[in-house]
């Protein structure tokens, strides 16, 4: 049946049929119920890759081969990597995606093929390579990090965003050089790329890293609200508990015009709030009483749980007032719950 479906042809109709056939679930089902069929399927599909003249047919054969081959099949990995320079971007994408399923971690051939695809002229191929990179390379691989970093200047914003996420995965935690690499994208023209850069720095830097903390804190003045919110989340991850300077930076965002940023600030305060600082307590209580957004008022109430002012009469009285007078039932319920815990 495979021999009939996967045949070399220049006919568009046959290529379309082949593309559909390569995605049929019966390929995998057959290997599950008749495991002895797998070697024959792999051999047949392997031959079809080279025998197919059309790009769609070759790509479909690669996809099918990747689906049925055993992981770490050296012959299949060798076959796939031999097509990494195929003239068709459709085939190159199928190859690098297939390596994610077939190649094992630290496979040198697969890693080299992925690095080549990271310099591809087609965005789809590069993005597929970015998805595959963490699955085949060694953690902290300098060559892979360098290759991925080259994508940070790509014209396509999604490629830049994905490159940042990939560096966050393959760079080892505490890598002192990684935040500097990611920092280049903090000034990117695209909002979501800047968010990804902040998230990446928070992921690879260690808590207490002053340089990394300064990088993300600088984005608290970003024109985009979601970047400011991401910066607050990063400060929460990087600042040491009780860091007064970090707490003041976070508290300054409690007046932000966007409710989501104010919520992010309250969440961050729970991690960095110096428990002895009642000036911040007053700012949080102001959110409880005066914030126009009910979700912010609820978050401010929850923040008081982490303040460690257990039994504090000022807090309890403020919450009881909120419990009686707030116009939203959700806020009144939150206040009642927190009073019980305090």
Per-residue pLDDT of the chain (342 residues; tens, 9 = 90+): 555 544 444 443 434 444 444 444 555 555 555 556 677 777 777 777 776 667 887 888 888 888 878 888 888 899 999 999 999 999 999 999 999 999 988 889 999 999 999 999 999 999 999 999 999 999 999 999 999 999 999 999 999 999 999 999 999 988 888 999 999 999 999 999 999 999 999 999 999 999 999 999 999 999 999 999 999 999 999 999 889 999 999 999 999 999 999 999 999 998 888 877 788 888 999 999 999 999 999 999 988 877 656 667 888 888 899 999 999 999 999 999 888 877
Q: Interior CA angle at 116 toward 112 and 121, to 5°?
A: 165
Tell me, what's the pLDDT at 27? 56
Q: Could you give the C-alpha distances from 114 to 98, 125, 196, in angstroms and in order?
A: 11, 10, 22
Q: What pLDDT does 11 receive?
A: 41
> How many angstroms separate the CA atoms of 243 and 221, rounded?
20
Interatomic CA distance for residues 113 and 51, integer angstroms: 22
- Whether 257 contacts 290, CB under 8 Å: no
- Of 268, 276, 337, the residue nearest 305 (C-alpha): 337
User: Is residue 105 within 8 Å of residue 140, measured between CB atoms?
Assistant: no
Q: Which two tokens stand for residue 90?
A: 């459709």
The per-residue pLDDT for range 81-123, each reduced to its tens digit, is 999 999 999 999 999 999 999 998 888 999 999 999 999 999 9
User: Is residue 101 within 8 Å of residue 71, measured between CB atoms?
Assistant: yes
* Residue spans of beta strands (DSSP E) within 114-232: none
CB 41 within 8 A of CB 1: no
* Distance in Å from the first CA to the final CA of the chain: 71
* CA distance to 32, 47, 48, 76, 89, per residue, from 41 (Å): 12, 10, 10, 12, 25
Structure tokens at 4: 């009939």
Give the model confidence (pLDDT) of 209-256 as tens digits: 999 999 999 999 999 999 999 999 999 999 998 899 999 999 999 999
Q: What is the pLDDT of residue 309?
A: 63
pLDDT of residue 96: 96
- Predicted confidence at residue 328, as pLDDT, reads 93
| CA-CA-CA-CA torsion sign (303, 306, 311, 314) | negative
Residue closest to 147 by CA, chosen among 118, 124, 107: 118
DSSP 8-state assignment for residue 9: -
Which two structure tokens, joined as six digits, stand for 91?
Answer: 């085939």
Rounded distance, CA 281 to CA 12, Å? Answer: 70
CA pair distance 238, 282, nearest whole angstrom: 24
């Amino acid at each position: 049946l495979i021999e009939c479906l996967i045949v070399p042809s220049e006919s568009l109709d046959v290529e379309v049929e082949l593309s559909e056939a390569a995605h049929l679930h019966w390929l995998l089902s057959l290997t599950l119920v008749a495991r002895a069929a797998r070697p024959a399927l792999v051999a047949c599909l392997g031959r079809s890759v080279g025998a197919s003249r059309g790009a769609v047919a070759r790509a479909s054969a690669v996809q099918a081969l990747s689906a049925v081959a055993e992981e770490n099949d050296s012959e299949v990995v060798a076959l796939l990597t031999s097509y990494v320079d195929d003239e068709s971007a459709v085939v190159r994408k199928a190859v690098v995606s297939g390596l994610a399923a077939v190649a094992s971690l630290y496979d040198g051939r697969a890693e080299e093929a992925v690095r080549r695809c990271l310099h591809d002229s087609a965005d789809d191929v590069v993005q597929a390579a970015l998805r595959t990179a963490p699955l085949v390379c060694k953690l902290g691989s300098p060559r892979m990090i360098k290759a991925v970093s080259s994508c940070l200047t790509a014209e396509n914003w999604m490629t830049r965003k994905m490159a940042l996420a990939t560096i966050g995965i393959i760079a080892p935690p505490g890598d002192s050089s990684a935040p500097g690499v990611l920092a280049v994208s903090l000034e990117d023209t695209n909002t979501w790329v800047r968010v990804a850069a902040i998230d990446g720095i928070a992921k690879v830097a260690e808590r207490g890293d002053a340089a990394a903390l300064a990088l993300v804190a600088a984005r608290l003045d970003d024109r985009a609200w979601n970047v400011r919110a991401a910066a607050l989340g990063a400060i929460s991850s990087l600042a040491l508990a009780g860091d007064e300077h970090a707490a003041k930076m976070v508290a300054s965002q409690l007046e932000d015009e966007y409710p989501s940023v104010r919520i992010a600030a309250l969440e961050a305060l729970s991690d960095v709030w110096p428990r002895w600082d009642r000036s911040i307590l007053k700012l949080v209580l102001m959110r409880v009483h005066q914030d126009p957004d009910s979700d912010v008022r609820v978050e401010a109430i929850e923040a008081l749980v982490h303040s460690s002012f257990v039994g504090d009469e000022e807090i309890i009285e403020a919450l009881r007032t909120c419990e009686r007078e707030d116009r939203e039932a959700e806020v009144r319920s939150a206040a009642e719950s927190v009073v019980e815990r305090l």
